[in-house]
Amino acid sequence: MNDFALWPVLAGAAAFFAVGALWYGVLFPKAWQRAAGLSDVQVKSGNMTLIFGLTFAFEMLIAMVLWHLLARTDPAPFVVMMMAVGFAVGVMIPAVGINYLYLRKPLALFLIDAGHFLVGMAAMGGVFVWFRG
């Protein structure tokens, strides 16, 4: 398996991005907005093309790192899922949690965002299992 493969990385990032669209656009939009302390005007402001573009770029970076790790270790499918979810639980969620503690963000915001990272990384892991199968 190549250290970098464009299609799985793109598909993994797209899966993470799709989870985010569902998470923040369908499942928890108002709860997230309230917990984040953002008004309707604030939510609608900003350059959404830039925000979505950078979001996808960051998700591509995450996908590249995970794919590289998988390429180097060649784990079984269940281990791929453990690594993807472990990335979320052991690195991403604690990092956000630390940041939110210092920013005095509410627990509700942390739980919504942590759930997004957990489900998004599970989706990415599932895509990688499929590509490696």
The domain ranges of the chain are: 6-131
- Quote the CA–CA distance of 18 and 15 in Å, as a whole number: 5
Whole-number mean pLDDT of the chain? Answer: 96
- Percentage of the chain surpassing pLDDT 70? 98
* DSSP-derived secondary structure for 62-110: HHHHHHHHHHHH---HHHHHHHHHHHIIIIIHHHHHHHHHHHT--HHHH
pLDDT by residue (tens digit) across 34-47? 999 999 999 999 89
Query: Cα dihedral angle (17, 19, 22, 24), rounded to 10 degrees?
Result: -70
Q: For residue 3, what pLDDT is reported?
A: 75
Query: Are the CB atoms for 16 and 121 separated by under 8 Å?
Result: yes
pLDDT by residue (tens digit) across 74-117? 999 999 999 999 999 999 999 999 999 999 999 999 999 999 99
